[in-house]
Structure formats: structure tokens, C-alpha cells
A and B are shown apart, each in its own frame.
Chain A
Amino acid sequence: MATSGNKNINAKLVLLGDVGAGKSSLVLRFVKDQFVEFQESTIGAAFFSQTLAVNDATVKFEIWDTAGQERYHSLAPMYYRGAAAAIIVFDITNQASFERAKKWVQELQAQGNPNMVMALAGNKADLLDARKVSAEEAEIYAQENSLFFMETSAKTATNVKDIFYEIAKRLPRVQPAENPTGMVLPNGPGATAVSSSCCA
């Protein structure tokens, strides 16, 4: 996918939102869509990586799902650590989930990095008859808090790819230096390289 001259950007993306808002299904829809051939193997269903090409760059998302740790307010600080983007998900048929989404935005503003790209996803947009949160209300909230807002449906795929594309477009093109990547352990020279260097 990456053409030479294009920038490669690695971006950690975290999902937040109420239990049942549809975080995991959004990710599954996104990664099982037309990019399925690039999907890397995962343990459980809580860590995906997916590559997207936007105009001037190739963005590799490392997508973190909450793995259920939000249920009893037990998400670890490491979840937010170094995240370049976040999708805060609520269910448009559930007013309480929208109120919870606002709490997650506050939490991110307190814990996350200040340049984080934040998207607000009003999920289950296919269930129009059961709508409890108006698009206007969510849009106003998003603008006031420097988020961008989209209504999505993991079921029909509406706007799912679009929200990830929009994030990819908005990511800063220069990776912040404050978040250096360390070594990858399994790539070490391995256990067989024995050195006799001590005082030899």
C-alpha cells in the first residue's frame, strides 16, 4: 500500500463509550471491510491494526478496544497513553449513553494528549424510529468541544469507513517527538547470541 515518497504514520486509536454503544462492532465493520487482507492476527477481539491510504500518507491505525474494562470504571491509564486519536461512541437511541459519552470526553481531555484527534460517533443510525438524541444536539456539543461528529451504523456500514478516513486526514503529519517508540522485543537477536565480553 505504501508508495515511496508517501509518509507512513502510526497512530494509536482508542475507542470509548458506554457498554453496548457499539464500539466493537464499529471496529469489526471497519477492519472486516475491504481491507481485510491487511488485517493482522490478534488475541481476543481488542487489538486490531488496519492501514488506510489517504491523499498524502499511509496511516496505520493501532486500534484499542476497551476489552470490557470500562464496565466498572477500571480502564487503565495506559489505555490513553500515547493515543493519537479517539472515537467516543454513543447510541443515538439511548440518551444516557450520550451523557456517558460526554464524561468520556472529559476523561480524555484530562488524561489524553492535548493534540489528540477526537471523533464523536452517534452509532445505530439505522434505528431512526427509536432515535432519542438529535443530530443537532450532538453536533453542537461536538463543535463546542473541538470534536468532529458523524452518525454511523455498524450494521449498514454507513459512515464507518468515513469516520476513520476523516481521522486519518486530521492526524498531524509530524509525529510528536514526545512519544518515542521503543524497541520491539521479539525482534531481538535472540537467545543464542552469547557474549563472552565480560572481562574476557
Chain B
Amino acid sequence: MDEEYDVIVLGTGLKECILSGLLSVDGLKVLHMDRNDYYGGESTSLNLTQLWKRFRGSDTPQENLGASREYNVDMIPKFIMANGLLVQTLIHTDVTKYLNFKAVDGSFVYKKGKIYKVPATDVEALKSPLMGLFEKRRARKFFIYVQDYDEKDPKSHEGLDLSKVTAREIISKYGLEDDTIDFIGHALALHNDDDYLDQPAIDFVKRIKLYAESLARFQGGSPYIYPLYGLGELPQAFARLSAVYGGTYMLNKPECKVEFDSSGKAIGVTSAGETAKCKKVVCDPSYLSDKVKKVGKVTRAVCIMSHPIPDTNDAHSVQIILPQKQLGRKSDMYLFCCSYAHNVAPKGKYIAFVSAAAETDNPEEELKPGIELLGPVDEIFYHSYDTYVPTNNQEEDNCFISATYDATTHFESTVMDVLEMYTKITGKTLDLSVDLSAASAAAEN
């Protein structure tokens, strides 16, 4: 260990592993350590034995659930937007070759106690009971505007400066009903609460475009893809990238204490009496808990089931958004279900999650509306965690700390955080868009 590194990365969560990979590819000398004996940190996927150890304090799950190793239960369940930033990062780094993905069967939205499929085709849209006929016409005009909107082409803006006009104003221009706004804002733009309504509309419009582009990409029933064997594969794949480019990996390292010089700059990391020197430290909030502050809490139910979620056309993988207003909450709740079809459970078993930003201290009661949609469950675990953001100034202490994974249903905010950290660490901007077209061109050859 007594060598000098450019960067020491602590924690093998997805964010840290992507950064480790990018930095190694850049030619930096990286040491990557984790206090756990497994990859993934908070964003790992657990087998049944690990799940029991963490939530039941025993390591003997019932035998009728099947083999422990056939389970990969995500601790931070999210889906991947097929055309989103994570996919661009996977292609940019060529990490896709270590992974296999499958489309997610369906995306649903909860309205007045029932769930409805978010239309994925024109035919589904025409048949959908989500809106009345006249409202569909109004909505259609709005979607055409969004589809044609091109940030670089002022002609497509129809005189509206979306960096100034709010989402609320643009919606009112098309005369959309409250239920429609709820549907578009939460089930398509995937906003977690209603704060977006009073912010510039550009972000709202871009999110709807991302949804539509992702939906079109693989012609599936949803805009999402998900890796076989669970999300825990993602940090492992990026860690492999880092290793291939010379990164050194050490798991099961106790303590991992960051050392500072007299001016407060990080100069190394000590574990089990050995110190490795470095110029910069990258880590998740748990490794530098005095340089972060709590900003919220995520609450979640993890369920093992023997059937798909009712009323989802027997989907083997599905997302259901429960918009805040439908539940009288301040932020959305969402359901996420995966199964043996994505190799995260033995044949016939389903893993469902109900998640939300915690608004009370009683997760069981708070998550009830979501859990009721699941039908009978074989097992249920409740799990809450605090979310943190860094408070330090990296220019003063050379520490680069990621934010805790938030309650959003997909990885856009995760990768945004990574890209911002990458820029702070290296002073460079990672251009993903160029590489996306390069990858497509390469695939045609």
C-alpha cells in the first residue's frame, strides 16, 4: 500500500466506480478501496443470505424461497433510461461489453385508486382511458410542440424562451387539465414533486423528450432497460474498467481513514496501520461524515413475491408511479418490480420495491398505498436511509464527495453528480454525445 497515488477512491458504489473507471482511463494512478468485502457499497445487490443478515439479524432464510445465490436484490432500485446519461456513459467507456440488458416490460401510473399503462404506442394512446377525447387532442398539440422543440433552432420555439417561461405557463398555454399535468409531470417527465411547475420549462421539456426518445430506442413497452443479474453488476463493471486501465482494487479494508496535513488538505488514507499517499480523495458520504450534511430521508419496502403485480398484464418487470397528489403527499411514491426474467430471483419469484422520500417516521404506514397494490407478499423488509450532500470546498481539502442516491426512479441525477465531480476532479468536461454517434457508427461496420 505504501505507494503514492493520484487518486484514492473510497467505497465501491456506482458513482465511485464510474469515477474510478473514468480517472484510470485518463491515465491517473488510482487506488480503490472499500470497507466491505463486496462491491457496490450502498448500491449493491444482495443475495438472500446477505439480505437476511442485514434485515433479520440471522443468516438462515427459509428454504422455500429458493437458492440464496439466485437472488440479486437491489439496495438502490432504479431503472435505466434507454437513451439517458447512464447508457451514454456505458457506451462511452465500452463497459457495455461486460453487461447484458433487457427492456423493462411496462410503465404504469396510479390514478384514483387504479393503475393505468403509460401508453407506449399511438394505438395504446388512443385507447388509453387516462384522458378524455378532447383532452387527448389538446395534449397531442403539446406533445408535437415538445417533439419539434430543438434548443438550437429558434424557429421551433414558437416565440417562447424556455429558459425564462415556467413549466406552469407553457402548460396553461395548451389548456391542459390538472390530471393531465399530473400525468405528464410525474409519469413522463418523472419529476418527483411539483416544484418544477414554477421553474424554467426547459428542464421539463427536455425530460419529456428523453422519455420519448428512450421509449423509441428499443421499441419496448417502457423507456427503461435493466441489467441481467441486477444493478449490482454496474459498479462491478466500471470497477473492471478501472482495473483494466491499471486501477488497484482492495476490498474488505477496515477503517479507511482519510489523513490531512496541517492546512486541512487530504494527503492519504490509512487502513489497518498502513497509509497510502494521494493527491486527491474521492468517496461516498460515509467515509467523510464530518464533511456532509443530511438533506432528507428515503424510505423503502423490499418484498419477495410469487406473482407479478396485479393489473400490470403479468409484467415481469414494471414501474408504477404514484403521483404525490393522488396520495395527498408532497412527493411521489413509486413501485419497481423485477423478476427471474432479469435473473434477480429464482424461477417464479418477483422482487418488488415501494419507495418514497420519507415524509413521516412511520415507513410501514407511509408506504401502505403502494404496498396494497402488490397483493400478497412472501416476505417484506422495511428500510430507511438518510441522504447526504457534501458541505466541503474541494479546493481547500482535495476531497470529492458524492451525494447519497436520491429517491428518483432512474439514474439521470446519479450520472449528473458523477459528471460534475469528474469536472471538479480533472478540470475537464466529459463529452458523451460525440461518443454515442461514434459507437453507433462502429456498430454498423
Contacts and interface: CB of A to CB of B under 8 A. Distances in A.
Contacts of A197: 119-122, 124-125, 212, 215-216
Interface string B61-93: 000000000000000000000110001001100
Interface in B117-140: 118-122, 124-125, 128, 130-131, 136, 139-140
A167 to B, nearest CB: 21
B287 interface: no
Interface string B209-229: 101110111110000010111
B125 A198 contact: yes
A72 B248 contact: yes
Interface string B93-117: 0101111111100000000000000
Interface in A51-85: 67-69, 71-74, 76-79, 81
A186 B439 contact: yes
A196 interface: yes
A1 interface: no
A162 B218 CA distance: 41
A194 B236 contact: no
Given A186-B439, A189-B216, A47 B122 contact: no
Given A67-B244, A78-B240, A185-B96, A196 B144 contact: yes
Contacts of A199: 119, 125, 128, 130-131, 136, 139-140, 143
B248 A191 contact: no
Contacts, number: 145
Interface residues of A, number: 37
B225 A183 contact: yes
A45 B213 CA distance: 35
B417 to A, nearest CB: 22
Contact of B39 (A76, A198, A200): A76
Contact of A187 (B225, B241, B250, B443): B443
A193 B249 contact: no
B100 A186 contact: no
A46 interface: yes
Name the residue among B90, B102, B243, B251 with the largest chain A CB count within 10 angstroms. Answer: B243
A79 B233 CA distance: 10
A181 B397 CA distance: 45
Main secondary structure of the interface of B (DSSP, over half): helix
Name the residue among A79, A185, A191 with the largest chain B CB count within 10 angstroms. Answer: A185
A180 interface: yes
A195 interface: yes
**Contact size class for B?**
35 or more
A191 B436 contact: yes
Interface string B197-216: 00000000000110111011
B62 to A, nearest CB: 22
A134 to B, nearest CB: 34
B263 interface: no
B250 A200 contact: no
B145 to A, nearest CB: 11
Contacts of B212: 194-198
B400 interface: no
B147 interface: yes
A186 B441 CA distance: 9
Interface string B41-73: 000000000000000000000000000000000
A191 B121 CA distance: 18
A71 B250 CA distance: 9
Contacts of A185: 87, 90-91, 96, 101, 225
Interface of B: 39, 82-83, 87, 90-91, 94, 96-103, 118-122, 124-125, 128, 130-131, 136, 139-140, 143-144, 147, 188, 208-209, 211-213, 215-219, 225, 227-229, 233, 236-237, 239-241, 243-246, 248-252, 436-437, 439-440, 442-443
Interface of A: 43-47, 67-69, 71-74, 76-79, 81, 180-191, 193-200
